[in-house]
């Protein structure tokens, strides 16, 4: 395995569960004072989850539609459950960072779904100094 020497210690701390970072799946059952969730479909190597599909930014495939219509476990339900695991870990503060080519569409989808009721939804334009 080729890696920079600086990466070995953080990797060891992560493996030993001494790191402040966790995977989405690895955080199940844990609680943290402050949580930052970065759902990222682009870097995922699987298609079991899709935050863009959940938010309506990306269209469902024919298979997704069939699974939803037939009541089978679907990409939408799996992603919804995983998102719940992620956002319910925060005790004091939560930030969800979404990268999208369609920022206005992502913000609109989040507002329509009501999953950020009472929260501030900031875009890059709001936070760039």
Domain limits of the chain? 22-127
- Of the candidates 42, 60, 22, which has an alpha carbon nearest to the alpha carbon of residue 98? 42
Q: Please report the pLDDT score of residue 104 as a whole number.
A: 85
Give tens-digit pLDDT for 43-96. Answer: 666 788 898 899 888 899 999 999 999 999 999 999 989 888 888 888 998 888
Q: Please report the pLDDT score of residue 61 as a whole number.
A: 94
Tokens 């009501």 locate to: 114
Give the HSE-up count for residue 1: Cα atoms under 13 Å, Cβ half-sphere.
6
Round the average pLDDT of the chain to a whole number and report it: 82
Q: Please report the pLDDT score of residue 63 as a whole number.
A: 94
Q: What is the pTM of this model?
A: 0.72
């Amino acid at each position: 395995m080729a890696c920079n020497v600086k990466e070995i210690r953080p990797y060891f701390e992560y493996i030993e569960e001494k790191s402040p970072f966790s995977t989405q799946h690895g955080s199940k059952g844990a609680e943290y004072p402050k949580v930052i969730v970065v759902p990222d479909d682009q870097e995922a190597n699987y298609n079991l989850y899709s935050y863009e599909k959940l938010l309506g930014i990306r269209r469902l495939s024919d298979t997704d539609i069939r699974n939803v219509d037939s009541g089978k476990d679907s990409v939408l339900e799996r992603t919804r459950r995983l998102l719940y695991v992620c956002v319910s870990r925060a005790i004091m503060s939560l930030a969800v960072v979404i990268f999208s080519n369609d920022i206005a569409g992502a913000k609109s989808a989040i507002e329509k779904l009501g999953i950020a009721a009472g929260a501030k939804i900031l875009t890059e334009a709001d936070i760039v100094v």
